[in-house]
Amino acid sequence: MAKIKPSKGAPYARILGVGGYRPTRVVPNEVILETIDSSDEWIRSRSGIQTRHWANDEETVAAMSIEASGKAIADAGISAEQIGGVIVSTVSHFKQTPAVATEIADKLGTAKAAAFDISAGCAGFGYGLTLAKGMIVEGSAEYVLVIGVERLSDLTDLEDRATAFLFGDGAGAVVVGPAQEPAIGPTVWGSEGDKSETIKQTVPWTDYRSGEVAKFPAITQEGQAVFRWAVFEMAKVAKEALDAAGITADDLDVFIPHQANERIIDSMVKTLKLPESVTVARDVRTTGNTSAASIPLAMERLLATGEAKSGDTALVIGFGAGLVYAATVVTLP
């Protein structure tokens, strides 16, 4: 019986570069108030959101991804030809097939990189990062591009008072490559499918196509149930990720949670008992909830503003529709 040759990958993997793209149109709360009965004060107090970005016709899922990826590749100091894998997490690319990752890989100029899409909602970046780490350590790619991208304005019901103000558009990307020491910790991830009705698309596309419903499908959620789950259950997952990495909250420099709601972020900080020295990402204030894009966009902004620096130890956690979640500790690029 023949023996299969073992893979020869890198001993570890790390994030080498990060890039982001926010659409040019900035949408303040006043625009949202044109279609819902609310107030700017109510929106800010409930979510922390002041503005969000909405894409125009040219700012497609692919176009935003390419812009963010170009920045991440340059930040990593490599060329697109060196990218061996492209992983795109999105729920708002409306062409079922082919995967938008293949178009992105081609237009970036990769050398026929493996390319595929994943659908893991707001935890998608964490899922993609974990897959990329595995590819590098296993040896199937030297560098992998992980992209979180959304055009959630296409899936927003502007008459739904509970969600109309939440969502924004954008793309965030990171390059993951080889490392000689651990820089991406073990991932604590999972799903709770029994709660799948908590965040969902209103109706299947087939119901809209058949004319059974006249209103275009949108994202809806049970706000209070999501808030309780995120605050209580995800704080536990975050703690598990710290334990898995062998560190404590006192060892952290940065906390980058999914930018869903500032009240959730504040509650998690309190539950985790994070020291005041820890920098907490609050990109949600001006970017809104961009689902899979929110963590890399927040990471990019923290590094660009100097609030975080290269080499900092960061806890990242994403959670959302499914319900799914993923948390890990990383060294910032």
> Torsion-angle region of residue 142: left (phi > 0), alpha (psi -120 to 50) or beta?
alpha
Neighbours of 40 (CB within 10 A): 15
Tell me whether residue 93 is one of the annotated catalytic residues: no
> Between the CA of residue 7 and those of 10, 134, 137, what are the distances in Å?
10, 12, 9
Instruction: Label the pairing between strands 169-179 and 143-151.
Output: antiparallel
Q: Could you tell me how many residues make up the chain? A: 333
Q: Where are the alpha helices (DSSP H) in the chain?
A: 29-32, 40-47, 61-76, 100-108, 124-138, 205-209, 223-228, 234-245, 262-272, 284-287, 294-305
Catalytic choice (29, 53, 93, 258): 258
Sheet with strand 254-257: strands edge to edge: 188-191, 324-331, 313-320, 254-257, 279-280
Catalytic choice (53, 93, 261, 289): 289
Q: Are 50 and 28 in contact (CB under 8 A)?
A: yes
Neighbours of 2 (CB within 10 A): 4
- One-letter amino acid of 157: D
Tell me whether residue 53 is one of the annotated catalytic residues: no
Tell me whether residue 122 is one of the annotated catalytic residues: yes
Q: Give the DSSP per-residue string, 52-109.
A: EEE--TT--HHHHHHHHHHHHHHHHT--GGGEEEEEEE-S-----SS-HHHHHHHHHT
β-strand partners of 200: 220
Q: Are 237 and 327 in contact (CB under 8 A)?
A: yes
- The answer to whether the peptide bond before residue 323 is cis (omega within 30 degrees of 0) is yes
Instruction: Label the pairing between strands 25-28 and 51-54.
Output: antiparallel
* Residues involved in catalysis: 122, 258, 289
